[in-house]
Amino acid sequence: MSVGAVSRALSADKTLSIREETRERILGAAKMLNYSPNHAARSLRMSSTGLIGLAVHDVSNPLYSDIVAGAQTAAIEAGYVLTLTDADVLATDEEVFRRLVASKAIDGILLQTVDNSADSIIAKTAKTLPVVMVNAESPNPEVGSVTVDDHQAALLATNHLLELGHRKVAYLTIDEHEDRAARRLGGWRDAMIDAGLVPQARWIVNGGHSSEGGMRAMEAIISTPEMPTAVVAANSLIALGAMKACQAAGLQVPDQVSIVGIHDFPTAAYLNPGLTVVSLPLRQLGERAVQLLLDQREGKRPVHEKLSAPAAEVIARGSTGPCPGSTHLR
Amino acid sequence: MSVGAVSRALSADKTLSIREETRERILGAAKMLNYSPNHAARSLRMSSTGLIGLAVHDVSNPLYSDIVAGAQTAAIEAGYVLTLTDADVLATDEEVFRRLVASKAIDGILLQTVDNSADSIIAKTAKTLPVVMVNAESPNPEVGSVTVDDHQAALLATNHLLELGHRKVAYLTIDEHEDRAARRLGGWRDAMIDAGLVPQARWIVNGGHSSEGGMRAMEAIISTPEMPTAVVAANSLIALGAMKACQAAGLQVPDQVSIVGIHDFPTAAYLNPGLTVVSLPLRQLGERAVQLLLDQREGKRPVHEKLSAPAAEVIARGSTGPCPGSTHLR
DNA sequence: GTGAAAGCGCTAACAG
DNA sequence: CTGTTAGCGCTTTCAC
């Protein structure tokens, strides 16, 4: 019995034929000694680490936790281990980038970024490792990407409000330099136009990507003459800030203003009132991203994919209600 | 110029003396070719990966995001890279544990767990790698740990309520099998006793560790005869659930019931009303944990450390107010 | 069917 | 002061 045979027995090599008894003796000894092949040696020899990186902007952003969960599941399924890193650090800190990406400490990386601070690192990365962008469309043919149906989500959110009798529906957008921004804005615009309404430019306010930004944006909406009776927020953190602004201004939600956000998240149901949201298939987004990454590793061409199933869905909670003064019945 | 010299030049070896011109030529070529030493080969040779793992239970728990941020900073400071993993997966999935920990894909691991599902893996891990428990006291002398001043936090929260004139102050505890639970409960109890009050057993209800649990717990409190006028929640997620339960029961916060939670988090200020919390130095907790881990790596004995600075602090927002019917002035 | 040996890319020790 | 070389622990090919 030699070291070669042991290695092959432990990795369950089918082409190895030794006596069953010997095989069992090897496996037994390995378990007894709690043996695990050294990661570095294995990686060096096989030029593969079995690790997939997921770079996230703001780990604790509650809107995106499902992406992580989905990626986790899919990675394990495929025999990989998922490790998270801070995307901003990766983009900012040369040394961290070098250690993790350039030196191939991981087999590939999933990039979830909010702004395009990432753009610079994407190109660098793609030269070394397979990359898949998560929840943003790749501008680079060497980099795959997956997105959800942003247009549809905003359309559904707006229609929900329209069905409640609202006519003046404002839109709190996320920063324009994100590609999602335009798609979601388009959804709101199309819903308004389909309903025979004119989407007023003054009803579109930039809400940044935080609750703070949402609050400021809503304050601007409130001071608008002919104030809208309902608001679509491009994401639910912005919606949260909008609710705060209403509360500060003494406006009742949903009696005086209805608010709906995009993306469901754990605390949405615990707000006062509960926040009505449109949910998107983020878990599946995470899973699919891993699969695309693995496909690229096997030499397939990077592709962009828009995930449209499961479909976006309105989850009505307390923050949306009938338009005040409308004849709408519910 | 040989490979040895190049390696030493790139790692800035002081004892290497070559012509300045040669050194620059090496560095220049490395930059030109975008060269980075292969991680696996380097790790194998140096028996060190430069990676520190942080295993978290529920990545997106907003209460703990500062721990991650602190650990991140300290790791980079020390020339390491921090990678996050799901603690539950690590505890559950043998294969993931093997790949990441047993095979030494990382140099050490920080363990942040909510329940003691971790207990089983701690022992296993400590045999292979340095481990430091974060925000829980280590039961194992081979494993270091850092905690914050849980007793003080609950004491401050309770005193804040007492100062507002409340006498009947309930306590929503986290699951008892966490060591934090007893320390925080003790803080509430001591504050009550110091104020000459009797901490009633029926005012202690288990709120689990989620908003859902907090809601159930608060429902129980509400149906108590001689209902308390104020509530300390052992963490802010529980407090969130408690607020929801009040709202559902038609109880005004803070006019009829005051609520305070432990741990500040980003959305606390955006709730309606804003949640009063006691903040704890979680960022420093993360930093310190990394330092202890690195100390252990250098052969120092694992220690337990309680972080008492910066001190816990009450952040008063809208969810706490004077006791209804009390003569307290504010 | 089994065992020996090459070599993955790097660093550190040592010989020149 | 610089260049050569051994060897980290593993897998896999090749010779027996």
Give the confidence band of A21 by pLDDT, cuts at 50, 70, 90: confident
User: Are A181 and A174 spatial neighbours (Cβ–Cβ below 8 Å)?
Assistant: yes
Give the residue with minimal CA–C1' separation from D11: A45
Q: Is residue B74 part of a domain?
A: yes
Same domain, A130 and A204: no
Q: What is the mean pLDDT of residues A140-164?
A: 96
Same domain, B124 and B203: no
The DSSP secondary structure of B84-98, one letter per residue, reads EEEHHHHHH-HHHHI
The answer to whether the beta carbons of residues A54 and A110 sit under 8 Å apart is yes
Would you call the peptide bond into B302 cis, given omega within 30 degrees of 0 as the criterion? no
A212 and A182 fall within a common domain: yes
Query: How far is it, in rounded angstroms, from Cα B291 to Cα A89?
Result: 20
Helical axes B150-163 vs B179-194, angle rounded to 10°: 40
Task: Give the pLDDT band (50/70/90) at residue A330.
Answer: very low
Structure confidence at residue A261 (pLDDT) = 98
Same-domain status, A244 and A177: yes
> B274-313: string of b/e by CB count within 10 Å (b at 16+)?
bbbbbbbbbbbbbbbbbbbbbbbeeeeebeebebeeeebe
Name the phi and psi angles at B146, rounded to 5.
-135, 135
Same domain, A139 and A288: yes
- pLDDT of A256 higher than 80: yes
Residue A231 belongs to domain spanning: 150-280
Token reading at B30: 């490395």
Q: Is residue B222 part of a domain?
A: yes
What is the chain B residue with the closest CA to A75? B96
The single residue listed with the structure tokens 């709730």 is B271
A175 and A258 together in one domain: yes
Q: Mark whether B183 and B274 lie in a shared domain.
A: yes
Q: What is the CATH number of the domain that holds B247?
A: 3.40.50.2300
Q: In what order do the strands lie in the sheet with B131-134?
A: A304-307, A144-148, A131-134, A108-112, A51-56, A81-86, B81-86, B51-56, B108-112, B131-134, B144-148, B304-307
- Asked, for residue B154, whether it belongs to a domain, the answer is yes
Share of chain A above pLDDT 70, in %: 96
- Assess whether B97 and B13 both reside in one domain: no
Nearest beta carbon to residue A65 from set B47, B59, B96: B59
Q: What is the token pair recorded at A176?
A: 């324009």
Asked if residue B44 is part of any domain, the answer here is no
Give the count of domains, chain A: 3
For residue A52, the 8-state DSSP code is E
CA at B128, C1' at C10: how many angstroms apart?
A: 24
Cα distances (Å, whole numbers) of residue A145 to A73, A177, A263, B244: 18, 17, 19, 39
Q: Which of A42, A51, A104 sits opposite B38 (nearest CB)?
A: A104
Mean pLDDT of the residues in chain A? 91
Tell me whether residue A327 is in a domain: no
Q: CA–CA separation, A108 vs A129, rounded Å?
A: 5
Cβ contacts of A31 within 8 Å, gap of 6 or more: none
Mean pLDDT of A30-46: 92
Identify which has the larger pLDDT, B18 or A185. Answer: A185
Token pair belonging to B41: 């080969």
B49 and chain A in contact, CB less than 8 A: yes
Report the nearest residue to nucleotide C5, CA vs C1'.
Answer: A4
| Chain segment A212-233, per-residue pLDDT in tens | 999 999 999 999 888 999 999 9
- For residue B328, is it within any domain? no
Note the pLDDT of residue B31.
Answer: 86
Q: What is the pLDDT along chain B (330 residues), one digit of tens a residue?
A: 778 888 888 877 777 667 777 788 888 888 888 899 999 999 999 999 999 999 998 888 999 999 999 999 999 999 999 999 999 899 889 999 999 999 999 999 999 886 666 667 777 788 899 999 999 998 888 899 999 999 999 999 999 999 999 999 999 999 877 788 999 999 999 999 999 999 999 999 999 989 999 999 999 999 988 899 999 999 999 999 999 999 999 999 999 999 999 999 999 999 999 999 999 999 999 999 999 999 999 999 999 999 998 999 999 999 999 988 765 444
- Residue B11: per-residue pLDDT: 78
Neighbour tally for B97: CB within 10 Å = 21
Q: Is residue A110 part of a domain?
A: yes
Beta bridge partners of A314: A278
Instruction: Determine the pLDDT at residue A17.
Output: 67
- pLDDT of B146: 97
Portion 178-217 of B in contact with A at CB < 8 A: 211, 215
What is the gyration radius of the CA atoms in chain B, in angstroms? 25
Task: State whether A140 and A171 are in the same domain.
Answer: no
Residue ranges of B 236-275 with Cβ closer than 8 A to chain A: 240-241, 243-244, 247, 266-267, 269-272
Overall average pLDDT of the A96-125 stretch: 84
| Same-domain pairing of B222 and B76 | no
Q: How far apart are CA A89 and CA A59, in angstroms?
A: 12
CB atoms under 10 Å from CB of A183, counted, come to 20
A42 within some domain: no
Q: What is the mean pLDDT of residues A320-328?
A: 79
The H-assigned helical ranges of B34-171 are 39-46, 65-77, 87-92, 94-97, 119-126, 150-163
Structure tokens at B172: 């929503």
Structure tokens at A267: 């605390």
Q: Do residues A115 and A160 both lie within one domain? A: no
- The reply to whether B274 and B173 lie within a common domain is yes
Name the pTM for this structure. Answer: 0.92
Q: Give the pLDDT mean for A284-308.
A: 96
Q: Chain B contacts of A215, Cβ < 8 Å?
A: 270
Q: Say whether pLDDT at A187 is over 90.
A: yes
* Rounded distance between C-alpha atoms, residue A253 and residue A242, angstroms: 10
> Hey, is B67 helix, strand or coil?
helix
Task: Check CB contact under 8 Å for B65 and A62.
Answer: no
A104, A211, A267: residue with CB nearest B39:
A104
CB of B52 closer than 8 Å to CB of B76: no
